[in-house]
Amino acid sequence: MKKDFLCLTDWTLEELEKIFDLSRELKAKQKQGEEHRLLQGQTLGMLFEKSSTRTRVSFEVGMYQLGGHALFLSSSSTQMGRGEPIKDTARVMSRYVDGIMIRTFSQAAVEELARLSDIPVINGLTDSYHPCQLMADLFTVIEHKTNYRDLTYCWIGDGNNMANSWINAAAVFGFELRIATPAGYEPDPQVMARAEKMGAKVIYTNDPLEAARGAQVLNTDVWASMGQEEEQKEREKAFANFQINGQVVAVADPECIVLHCLPAHRDEEITDEVIEGPHSVVFDEAENRLHVQKAIMASLMG
């Protein structure tokens, strides 16, 4: 039976840790120059309704390294952009390619695509979740820290798709998570309620210093995500104190690491000093999108 990668809570801890194990193996093979063509001759259809740098490049390069081929399909140049129903796209794509990665706005659209497709579907980002990024983030933590499930994680900024994904991760992996957002910018209440039912250890606050105190992993994202550009000025005021800077790093664990999914608006949500500083693992994190997504594709399509 086919399996999709739409949301972390659809997967068990054991299943996700197997993806980490495969990510480690594939990364080592690439670094050693060993071929790992696990998807020889297969094709991934990549549907984009949102712009992208890391998602497009990492999936496309990843398929090539796995021995397959990736097709970039933007909504502006396909029938999706002219209103073709998802149910038609799903059934046609299922007859052409071996897997689909979609980066779009609506989580409901991704779930409909997966339900109607005969092939695996990977969520490359929606307004609700960014599970591939979260897996790359955690894999980066695993590389830099031991016992990643015993650490305290801190999210500072918007209660956006990344915050929702961190809450899902806390529910699945069992680590402590602190979320600091301005009032009115909290994560999705349904995501919060589901995580609570699953026994997640999540603390919500409007004080970034309280959230960061003693934390081993600090994380943030832009104040205004794609589609929120008209709110930029309003958000700049609301988020003015929600920045990962020297003061925040100083109250965290002395050996803390700093994550950012990129692109970063330097000196807004994170200072240039921090992203270029000794605690930053941001570019290891960006590289790991490639290795983790290869493992996800190989697990679903192999």
In the block, which residue shows the tokens 């779930």?
A: 111
53 annotated ligand-binding residue: yes
Phi, psi of 88 (to 5 degrees): -75, -45
The one catalytic residue in 133, 216, 243, 293 is: 133
42 annotated ligand-binding residue: no
Phi, psi of 156 (to 5 degrees): -125, 125
Q: Cis bond leading into 263, ω under 30°?
A: yes
Active site residue 133: yes
Q: How far apart are the first and last CA of the chain?
A: 13
131 annotated ligand-binding residue: yes
Active site residue 289: yes
Provide the β-strand partners of residue 48.
Answer: 74, 103
The one catalytic residue in 235, 260, 289, 291 is: 289
220 annotated ligand-binding residue: no
Provide the β-strand partners of residue 202.
Answer: 177
103 annotated ligand-binding residue: yes
133 annotated ligand-binding residue: yes
291 annotated ligand-binding residue: no
> How many Cα atoms within 13 Å fall on the side-chain side of residue 187?
27
54 annotated ligand-binding residue: yes
254 annotated ligand-binding residue: no
If one counts every other C-beta atom within 10 angstroms of the C-beta of residue 81, the result is 12
132 annotated ligand-binding residue: yes
User: Which of 281, 286, 259, 302 minimizes the C-alpha distance to 61?
Assistant: 286
The sign of the dihedral angle between the CA atoms of 80, 82, 87, 93 is negative
89 annotated ligand-binding residue: no
The one catalytic residue in 36, 56, 103, 260 is: 103
> What tokens were used for 66?
């796995």
Active site residue 261: yes
262 annotated ligand-binding residue: yes
Active site residue 7: no
The one catalytic residue in 36, 56, 130, 235 is: 130
213 annotated ligand-binding residue: no
The one catalytic residue in 188, 261, 291, 293 is: 261
Residue 4, SS3 per DSSP: coil
Q: Are strands 176-180 and 201-205 parallel, antiparallel or unpaired?
A: parallel
Query: Contact 285/140 with Cβ under 8 angstroms?
Result: yes
208 annotated ligand-binding residue: no
The one catalytic residue in 56, 221, 235, 293 is: 221
Active site residue 194: no
Active site residue 232: no
Residues in the annotated binding site for L-ornithine: 161, 221, 225-226
Q: Which residues have a catalytic role annotated?
A: 103, 130, 133, 221, 261, 289
Residues in the annotated binding site: 52-55, 79, 103, 130-133, 161, 221, 225-226, 261-262, 289
Residues in the annotated binding site for carbamoyl phosphate: 52-55, 79, 103, 130-133, 261-262, 289
